Structures are given as C-alpha cells and as structure tokens.
Amino acid sequence: MLTKPNILRLVSYIVFFAAALYFPGRTVYNFERPAVPPVEMRFKLRAYDPYDPLRGRYLALNVICPPKNDKVKSSTSGRETAVRRETAVLEKDRDGFAVVSELLPSDGVPPTDKPFVRNVHFAVFVTLDDNKNVTEIRGAEMPFDRFYLNEPLAKPAEKLLREVTRDPKRSAVLVVDIHRDGNWAVKELLVDGKPLREVLRAAAK
Amino acid sequence: MSYNKDGLRWLLAEMPKLRGRGVLDDAAAEALTKYCHDELDLKPPPWRFIYTLFYIGTGMIAAGIVLFFNYNWDFFSKPQRLAIAAIPLALAFVSAMITILGQKGQLWREFSAVLTSVAAATLIGVVGQIYHTGGTLGQYVSLVLLVSLPFVYIFNSIALTTLYSFGLFLLLSRSGLGPMRNFYCFLGAFGILPMLHIQISGDNPNRVWARYLMAVIAVFGLIGCGFDGGYAPLSCFALAGTMIYAGWRLSERHETYLRNPWLWMAFIFMLTLLGIASTYAGFFDAYDSTENVWNVWAYWLFTGVVLATNIRLFPKSRLDAKRLATGLAVLLPLLYFCHVPPATMKIVFNVYMGVYGGVLMLDGFKRGRLLTYNGGIMMVLLLIICRFFDADLGVLPRAIAFVTIGAVLIAANFIFFRKRFREGR
C-alpha cells in the first residue's frame, strides 16, 4: 500500500516526466508533422570543424546569405552592429539559392506568406583566400551554423569542405527546411549535389 | 568517523603522559591502547568495496555502450536515432516506478533522480543534434535545469541538488539567454534554495554537504545576478556578513572547521572585501550597465533573499559586540546612497576595519576563543599591510601614524598586563 507522500511523489513524477518529455517531443513533432509544410532553402557555405562536448563533433558552417539587391538594408542603426540581430525574410534567386529580400527588426512582425529566419546578423564580412586576397561579402549571417557528424567522418569532411569551398567549379550547399513560424532544421549538406556522408563513404571505399 | 579517529590518535599520543602522571594505571593504559588500536585499524566494510566496484563497472559499461552507438551513429535512420536517444529516459521511468511503487530507500531515490535528469538532458541534446538545430550552451543548460528541478524535490535528492548547483555555473556563459539573463540566473538559484534549506535543517545526514552547496549557490548568485547591474558592494557585504553570522551559530554548537564552511569562507571573503574597500575608493561607485530592468530586479531580489534567509538568525543569536560589528559591514555600504564621497567611504572603512578587528580580538580574548581572536589579528594585520603599501598616503604621514599607533598599542598592552597582574589573574 502506497503511503500518502509516495502517492504525491508518483503523481508529481508522472506530471514532470511528461513535461520533460514535452520539450524534445514537441521539437520532433514540429519538425516531423508541421501544420504547413516547410520551405526548402539552399545556402552556399564555407566550413571548419570544432567540437561540442554536449552534442559531439560537428562542422561549423559559415552561411552568409546575400541580399536580393542593393536596396536591402539593415532595419536598425546604431553602434552595436556586432551584436545586432534581425529577422531576414527569404526568397529564392534564379539559381534556386536563398537570398534576403527584406530585413526586419528583431521585434518586427514577420510576413505570414514568406519564409523567414530570426536572429540573423546583417553586415559586411571580410574574408581572406589562400593568397590572402581580401574579399568583402555583404549579407546576413544565418543562425544555422552546425552540421553534426560522426567522429570518424569529421576530419575528412573538414578537409573535403575546405577544398570544395575554395574551388569555384565545385559547390557545397546546405539544405534547410524553413518552417512557417521561423523555426528551421538543417536537412542535408550537399557536396557537388550529393549528400556529404555519401561522398565521404564513397571516398573511403 | 575521521573526527573520532583524530580523537583516538590524540589519546594514543597522550597515553605515556597519562601513565607517567598516574592518571591511568598500567592495566587501564594497556586496555585503552588496545581499544584505540582496534578502532583505528577498522577497515571499511567489504560490501561497500564490492558495491563501489559494481557501480564503477556498470558506469563503464554504460559509457562503452554510448561510445559504441556514437561510432555507428551515422548508420542509424532518424527514427532509430530518436528511439535510441529515448532509451535512457524509458529506463529512468522504470527505475522511478520501482523506487516509488516499491517505496525504496534513499539510494534508489538518488539513482532515479539523477538518471531521469541525465536522460532528459541526453534526449534534448540528441534531438538538437539529429535536426542540427541551433541553440547555445546557455539555452540548453537553462532548459535542462528547468526540467531537472522538479525531480530534485520529488526524490529529495542531494546528488541531483549537487549536480544542479554546479550546473548553474554553466548559465554564466550567458549565451543566448537574452536581455533577462541575470533574472534567469536569479530564478535558477532561487529554485534550489528551499531544497537546500530542507537539507541543512535538523539532523539531516546531508546537512554538512548542503552547507557547502549553499556557499556555492551564494557565489553563483553573486556573479550571475550582479554581473552587469545593481550595486555590488552591498550584496557582497550582505552575503559575507550574514554568512559569518550563520557560521558563528554553527561554531557555538561546536561544529568543526570542515563541517562549518560558512565561517571560514565568509570570513576570507569579508577580509578581501574590507581590504579592497579600505584601499580603493572607486569600489563604492555604482556600476550599472544593464539594459533591462529585470536584471536590476534580479540583483535586488538576490540581495533581499540573502538578507531575508540569513536575517532570521539574528534574533536567535546573542547580540554581542562582534555581531554588531559584523552587522555594520552590511549597513555601511548604504552610506553611498547618502551621497558620501568615495574618499570619505574609504576612510570610514579603514576605521571600521580597525574597530572590527579590535572587537574580534577583544571578544576572542574575553571568551577564550582562539578562532575569533585570530580572526581579529588577521583583520588588523591586513589593515596594517594595506596601509603600509598605500600609495595614496604620503610616506611621512604614514611613518608618523605607524609609530604613533604602534606606541599606543604597546602602552595599552603594558597597562593591560599591569592591571591583570595586580588583579592576580
């Protein structure tokens, strides 16, 4: 026969266990059964390879989405440009890659009929190539900056991506499902049109 | 146990003296020596050794299985990965049901609490990994702590309380917590306080460890809630002062140093604070860069909770000179709000430090408590050292002040000893 404190403990445990299950469960449900199908967007990228002690090995992605045209400008002004976060409304360009069509302040109301991503950082980014030539890229730095990989695959993946992103004839594309509420899930990383894992496994054989 | 063993070792060392002075005859001394040796030779029971090996072995097998899955992770489909990630949570549920329905003891409760929280944290992390979702350490830790907190209370678990208390420090990464980050830190610390109060009260077997955890939470709260807002000197002095109070109460109940971390930890903190306050006038300038009013609230709420939780100790304690002097440390920073100039604040704290040290020395001397007396000496010595190296005072005024005060102290000492000699003490 259960004592009163244990009955209370049992009921509380079931309630809070359900609450604990709710957070990951809701994430899975939202991604697997969205009310409105997500829009698949493709982003060109660069990459390097760090480690997350909590979630394992991943490729850190550098996704800078270019603006649709020169009229797209930051929605805010001020000195703290490095920490400024905005909402980017996205469109597809002629090649099917994502471009930023509009920038809204972080507390702005995003459109209901267009895909958008929150927490982007719009700025002019400076990069150096192998010959130390400076290139300026104007665009929105996207929040999807990780692609998780198995440990044995991480090193060759890093090497492969470094080669691909420096070769103008080859392509590295990140495929992301953008949901109606601005939520997103990285779907695949394509190297020359093929999933990265497949390319790596084929190379390993 | 270790305390008793220290006592036994002391008794053994004293044995020749006791025998020599005739306090113990040879037979009693031998019997007592044998008893002490038998007690000191006691080994931990064998079942504890076997259990320890079993737990370590089980943990290593579990870790190995995790690594095995990790190595093959990419070969599983998405549903398989989700199912594997949910296995620990399912096991945790089974363990919890056995614990609750079988009305098991503390060990089972600890195990179920930790397993449920770790399994939930694993599932949340792995779902993020499977969908490559973003998110920062701060966001992840705050979600895991929020999920874990109820299980601390449901299972009354000191192990999970410990994990939670130290896990709070990961919130200090502050990444992705938004403008209300200080307030989240306050809520995180506040959430575990009732459990710690339960653990330190009465004859709870975990009370000593809970005292250490209370100090850990205090340090976290101080950093997390006052990071970029509030008025640091007030909360620092409030924390140090009230914890010294609590430490004295325990000390009067004859708790040893290691079982009473509040006293020595808070006293070292107080010494540090007074050292800075008496040297650096800018210490009292308010620093407020916070952009969110909730963060200011977080600071004041934290300071209020510190005062409210420890102030209940005041009326129960004898209000003697050393307690009054300690209480002043909490009140003096408030002078800043009366527009007292920083240079004056510095002078006030120099005087206060000298008086406080003197009061402690006198109190320790009167009551025959070496701990309090030494505390007073440390404070006075620190004041002397700080002023000796003080760059703000000229060398000549310092020299005159040192010689004068030194002469007064020697004269006072002389008069004091003459008086006691006359009184025949």
Q: What is the pLDDT of residues B70-122, one digit of tens each?
A: 777 877 888 998 999 999 999 999 999 999 999 888 889 999 999 999 999 99
User: What whole-number percentage of chain B has pLDDT above 70?
Assistant: 91
Q: Give the DSSP H/E element, type plus range, for residue A174.
A: strand A172-178
Tell me what the mean pLDDT of segment B57-66 comes to.
85
What pLDDT, on the 0 to 100 scale, is given for residue B291? Answer: 63
What pLDDT, on the 0 to 100 scale, is given for residue B1? Answer: 45
Q: How far apart are the CA of B73 and the nearest CA of chain A, in angstroms?
A: 7
What pLDDT, on the 0 to 100 scale, is given for residue B47? Answer: 67
Give the C-alpha separation, B152 to B109, whole Å: 10
Give the C-alpha separation, A116 to A106, whole Å: 12
B46, with CB counted inside 10 A (0-12, 13-18, 19+), is exposed
Instruction: Tell me if B131 and A186 make a contact (CB, 8 A cut-off).
Output: yes
B132 touches chain A (CB under 8 A): yes
What pLDDT, on the 0 to 100 scale, is given for residue B306? Answer: 80
Instruction: Tell me if B103 and A24 make a contact (CB, 8 A cut-off).
Output: no
3-state secondary structure A14-47: HHHHHHHHHHHHHHHHHHHCCCCCCEEEEEECEE
Q: What is the pLDDT of residues B201-215, one digit of tens each?
A: 878 888 899 999 988
150-179 of A, contacting B, C-beta below 8 A: 150-153
Tell me what the mean pLDDT of segment B265-293 comes to.
80
Q: Which residues of chain A have pLDDT under 70?
A: 46-57, 76-84, 127-132
pTM of the model: 0.75
- Cβ neighbors of B278 (< 8 A, separation 6 or more) are B346, B349, B350, B353, B383, B386, B387
B74 touches chain A (CB under 8 A): yes
**Domain map (residue ranges) of chain B:** 76-201, 226-391, 393-425
pLDDT for residue B361 is more than 80: yes
What pLDDT, on the 0 to 100 scale, is given for residue A54? Answer: 57
Q: Hey, what are B422's tokens?
A: 């006359």
Q: What is the pLDDT of residues B153-203, one digit of tens each?
A: 999 999 999 999 999 999 887 777 777 888 888 899 999 999 998 888 878
φ, ψ of residue B204 to 5 degrees: the values are: -55, 130
User: What whole-number percentage of chain B has pLDDT above 90?
Assistant: 23
Residue B110 and residue B133 in contact, taking contact as beta carbons nearer than 8 Å? no
pLDDT for residue B297 is more than 50: yes
